[in-house]
């Protein structure tokens, strides 16, 4: 779709900018970065390796592409700043029809739909950039994300050409709105336990769909649903098994009803409700992907969209920093501006650091996904989601602390931002589930590589044992770790050298710890959730360190404005992450005094057994 045409279709305020727009918008036609990497960066960290070519130098876009997206971003930002009434949306629990119509005219319902099907066809990098602006309203962000990041994404990823041709044009224009139907009353994080069923009729022309889905964003607005249901599948051995299949379901197929909109804590303007399917007839040609392959389709959809949360949250935080800084620099207490107090300054440093890290992680991941033949970036995307969602909650809370009573009042946007931010830790995979996914996916990769060595150690191979003992002895004496990030041929700028050395050290010992844990637990490590959580936390820090070192090094080398500020933020984060990683690594030692796993389990077991707080009241007496 041509951007000039798109802008003229928009609201008057947007159309006024059309004369400055380029003739064509071809962001989706350009690949970013260098040649396609062969490995997943995050998975290689589990082996103590840094695959430099994947993450250094930090990816760039061309100046032409940057100019084009900047024109469009300006138009969208003007609309959000001048025409979107977020307070009204939150208060009334509904996005006004005229706002939805302008979103359609701007093409925002088809951001990543390919141009041949009427969408903007944006790359992942440009989608992330646009997400920074859309995030100015949480309800609109969630509505658009549910539509295209998950609702229609399956059609783009695995849909047939016939399915794409039939459905994508109207979805891209916003004439049709999509919803993603996976969660059920008894099935949340455990997607494999869904009970919705699709039964093939006798003529084998239709599936008869029955079941209920809950907490479906856009459930009351959608005309097209991506629905996951159990189907009978004949396995390779001839047995009949229940497996999940994905379907494209039209509301017009009949038998579809929805409940009233849920009254939510935050993102109140987004439509969330139950969706019921009763004897809904779905043509066999509307199977999405393969029969029985629905679980993989669902995971691929969710994995592909998580990365954008980083840029969206960073966009929100940058605006929040502006608002809060203005308050801190004008508000006086004890005859001094709030901005002069050390504890207030600490909060701004925290917010800036979190925004910088999540922004760096998000755009690095987006660039990986944009390369032809890109590797599996599911771990990287999950790490961005976990870090940015928790960073959002922490930073908005700190901003409210700066604002005091004003932050708590509904007359200002801050308390709404806090309520909106809480859902980020829950949807698109809870952070607890994602930490398990991050750790177990990496361990599975490491296990395949290290199996032979681990087996030799278990069998008592003297040579392997002696090699391992020698390695541990050298480590205990404080070996120098050099993975090639610094020095004359290094990819990290000298001003970030110490931080790069910290990253190298953390990566090396992380790899050694992974090997030790595989030897210690074997396959039973899947049950060791406290261990897995620590591994995930370390990996998230390692990826964040990598992203900021790559980005800050580029900023220095090309002379970006305020690059010294970037160096400060990068070095600060790397020092903090390094210390956190050392503590987590020490906790992974079974006999370390820092390891409190058994105490944690005992306390929780005693509480859950009684389903109550057990300690006697402090005023209680025995006589």
Task: Compute the average pLDDT of residues 578-593.
Answer: 94
Going by pLDDT thresholds of 50, 70 and 90, the confidence category of residue 188 is confident
The position carrying tokens 């393969």 is: 290
Residues whose CB falls within 8 Å of the CB of residue 139, separated by 6 or more in sequence, listed in order:
86, 89, 90, 95, 267, 268, 269, 270, 420
Does the pLDDT value for residue 4 go beyond 50? no
The 10s digit of each residue's pLDDT in 245-259 is 999 999 999 999 999
Nearest to 39 by CA among 316, 397, 371: 371
Strand duo 336-337 + 332-333: pairing: antiparallel
pLDDT beyond 90 at 478: no
Q: Which pLDDT band holds residue 29 (cuts at 50, 70, 90)?
A: very low
10 Å CB burial of residue 320 (0-12, 13-18, 19+) is buried
What's the DSSP call for residue 143?
A: H
Residue 171 pLDDT greater than 80, yes or no = yes
Query: Model pTM?
Result: 0.91
pLDDT of residue 65: 86
Mean of the pLDDT values across residues 304-309? 87
Using pLDDT thresholds of 50, 70 and 90, give the confidence band for residue 22.
Answer: very low
Residue 540 has pLDDT above 80, yes or no: yes
Residue 413 · residue 405 · CB < 8 Å: no
Report the range of poorest mean pLDDT among 31-40, 127-136, 335-344, 562-571. Answer: 31-40
Over residues 325-365, the pLDDT tens digits come to: 999 999 999 999 999 999 999 999 999 999 999 999 999 99
SS3 assignment, position 258: strand
Q: Is pLDDT above 90 for 458?
A: no
What are the CA-CA distances from residue 313 to residues 153, 264, 316, 422, 476 (Å)?
21, 20, 5, 12, 41
| Total residues belonging to the chain | 623
Q: What is the pLDDT of residue 191?
A: 84
End-to-end CA distance of the chain: 82
- How many beta carbons lie within 10 A of that of residue 93, not counting itself? 17
Q: What average pLDDT does this structure show over 274-288?
A: 98
How high is the mean pLDDT of the chain?
A: 90
What is the C-alpha to C-alpha distance for residues 137 and 223, in angstroms, rounded to an integer? 24
pLDDT in tens, 387-434: 999 999 999 999 999 999 999 999 999 999 999 999 999 988 999 999
Q: How confident is the model at residue 235 (pLDDT cuts 50, 70, 90)?
A: confident
| Interatomic CA distance for residues 155 and 99, integer angstroms | 26
b or e along 487-502 (b: 16 or more beta carbons within 10 Å of the residue's beta carbon)? eeebbbbeebbebbbb
- Give me the DSSP letters along 569-590: HHHHHHHHHHHHHHHHHHHTST
Residues facing 210 on adjacent strands: 197
Q: One of 428, 504, 515, 566 is an active-site residue; which one? A: 428
472 — pLDDT class (breaks 50, 70, 90): low
What is the pLDDT, as a whole number, of residue 275? 98
Q: Where are the beta strands (DSSP E) in 427-556?
A: none
Q: Is the pLDDT of residue 101 over 60?
A: yes
Residue 232 annotated among the catalytic residues of the structure:
no
Q: At 201, which helix (H) or strand (E)?
A: none
Q: What is the mean pLDDT of residues 267-283?
A: 98
> What pLDDT was estimated at residue 24?
33
In this predicted structure, the answer to whether residue 166 has a pLDDT above a threshold of 60 is yes
- Would you place residue 462 in the very low, low, confident or very high pLDDT band (cuts 50, 70, 90)? low
At 607 the pLDDT is: 98
584, 537, 535, 500: which is closest to 56 by C-alpha?
A: 500
Is pLDDT larger for residue 461 or for residue 476? 461
């Amino acid at each position: 779709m041509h951007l000039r045409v798109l802008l003229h279709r928009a609201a008057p305020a947007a159309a006024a900018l059309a004369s400055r727009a380029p003739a064509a918008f071809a962001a989706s036609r350009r690949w970013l970065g260098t040649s396609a990497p062969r490995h997943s960066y995050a998975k290689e960290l589990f082996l103590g390796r840094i695959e430099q070519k994947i993450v250094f130098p930090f990816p760039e876009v061309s100046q032409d592409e940057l100019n084009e997206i900047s024109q469009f971003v300006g138009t969208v930002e003007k609309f959000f700043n001048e025409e979107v009434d977020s307070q009204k949306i939150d208060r009334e629990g509904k996005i006004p029809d005229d706002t939805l119509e302008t979103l359609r005219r701007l093409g925002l319902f088809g951001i990543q739909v390919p141009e041949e099907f009427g969408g903007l066809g944006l790359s992942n990098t440009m989608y992330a950039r646009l997400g920074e602006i859309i995030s100015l309203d949480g309800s609109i962000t969630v509505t658009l994300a549910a539509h295209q990041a998950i609702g229609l994404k399956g059609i783009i990823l695995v849909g047939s050409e016939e399915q794409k041709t039939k459905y994508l044009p109207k979805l891209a224009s916003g004439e049709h709105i999509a919803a993603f139907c996976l969660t059920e009353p008894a099935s949340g994080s455990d997607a494999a336990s869904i009970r919705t069923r699709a039964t093939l009729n006798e003529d084998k022309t239709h599936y008869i769909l029955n079941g209920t889905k809950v907490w479906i964003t856009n459930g009351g607005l959608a005309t097209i649903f991506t629905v996951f249901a159990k189907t009978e599948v004949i396995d390779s051995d001839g047995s009949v098994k229940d497996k999940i299949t994905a379907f494209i379901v039209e509301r017009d197929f009949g038998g579809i009803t929805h409940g009233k909109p849920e009254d939510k804590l935050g993102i109140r303007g987004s439509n969330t409700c139950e969706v019921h399917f009763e004897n809904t007839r779905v043509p066999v040609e509307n199977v999405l992907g393969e029969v029985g392959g629905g679980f993989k389709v669902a995971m691929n959809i969710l994995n592909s969209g998580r990365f954008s949360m980083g840029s969206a949250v960073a966009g929100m935080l940058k605006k929040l920093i502006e608002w809060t800084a203005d308050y801190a620099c004008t508000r006086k207490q004890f005859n001094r501006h709030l901005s002069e107090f050390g504890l207030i300054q600490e909060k701004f440093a925290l917010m800036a650091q979190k925004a910088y890290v999540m922004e760096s992680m998000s755009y690095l991941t987006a660039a990986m996904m944009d390369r032809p033949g890109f590797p599996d970036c599911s771990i990287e995307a999950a790490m961005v989601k976990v870090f940015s969602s928790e960073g959002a909650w922490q930073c908005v809370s700190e901003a409210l602390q700066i604002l005091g009573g004003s932050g708590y009042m509904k007359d200002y946007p801050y308390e709404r931002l806090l309520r909106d931010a809480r859902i980020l830790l829950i949807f698109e995979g809870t952070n607890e589930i994602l930490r398990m996914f991050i750790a177990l996916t990496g361990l599975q990769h490491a296990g395949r590589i290290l199996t032979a060595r681990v087996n030799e150690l278990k069998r008592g191979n003297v040579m392997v044992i002696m090699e391992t003992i020698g390695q541990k002895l050298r480590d205990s004496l404080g070996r120098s770790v050099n993975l090639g990030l610094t020095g004359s041929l290094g990819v990290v700028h000298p001003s970030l050298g110490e931080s790069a050395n910290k990253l190298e050290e953390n990566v090396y010992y992380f790899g050694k710890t992974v090997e030790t844990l595989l030897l210690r637990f074997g396959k039973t490590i899947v049950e060791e959730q406290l261990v897995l959580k620590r591994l995930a936390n370390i990996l998230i820090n390692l990826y964040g360190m990598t992203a900021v070192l790559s980005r800050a090094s580029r900023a220095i080398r090309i002379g970006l404005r305020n690059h010294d500020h970037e160096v400060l933020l990068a070095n600060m984060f790397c020092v903090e992450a390094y210390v956190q990683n050392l503590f987590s690594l020490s906790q992974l030692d079974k006999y370390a005094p820092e390891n409190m796993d058994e105490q944690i389990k005992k306390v929780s077991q005693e509480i859950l057994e009684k389903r109550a707080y057990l300690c006697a009241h402090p005023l209680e007496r025995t006589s």
